[in-house]
Amino acid sequence: MRCGLKHSGYCSAVLLMPVDLAALKLRELKGLVSRWRGAPGRVFASRTAEYGGAPLILPARLFPRALGIEGDMGLRGLLAALPAAQRVLVDLPSARPDVDTVADLAAARRRWIPGAY
């Protein structure tokens, strides 16, 4: 994440999306981006955690705070510290299953249908 933010140039926001969201649907991702365009100063995140989770769109004004994060908590603390009005949580059901174990990978492979995404 740090590397991406450091090299993001002059963009107004970044879309942070881990690679282990094997079931993520393009239409849901497009919906997230579309909603962000209506209020680009806010964080738009998947409603997969109490304060939001990945994928998420992080406005540039929060890059310095994100770059200062240490440890394995990721952006959870930053999102939790934001006033609710600065966070928009979006239902992205396909973002819920992720691949963390060998069993998760096997399940993702069983669900995968070529061309379905």
Mean pLDDT by groups of 10 residues along the chain of 117 residues: 84 91 91 95 89 91 90 82 93 87 85 64
Question: What does pTM read for this prediction?
Answer: 0.84
Q: Phi and psi for 59 in degrees, rounded to 5? A: -65, 150
Q: CA-to-CA distance for 46 and 92, rounded, in angstroms? A: 6
User: Rounded to an integer, what is the distance from CA 107 to the centroid of its chain?
Assistant: 22
The per-residue pLDDT for 116 is 54
Q: Which long-range contacts (CB under 8 A, 24 or more apart) does 80-86 make?
A: 80/50, 80/51, 82/43, 82/51, 85/42, 86/41, 86/42, 86/43
CATH number attached to the domain at 2-111: 3.90.550.10
The per-residue pLDDT for 110 is 83
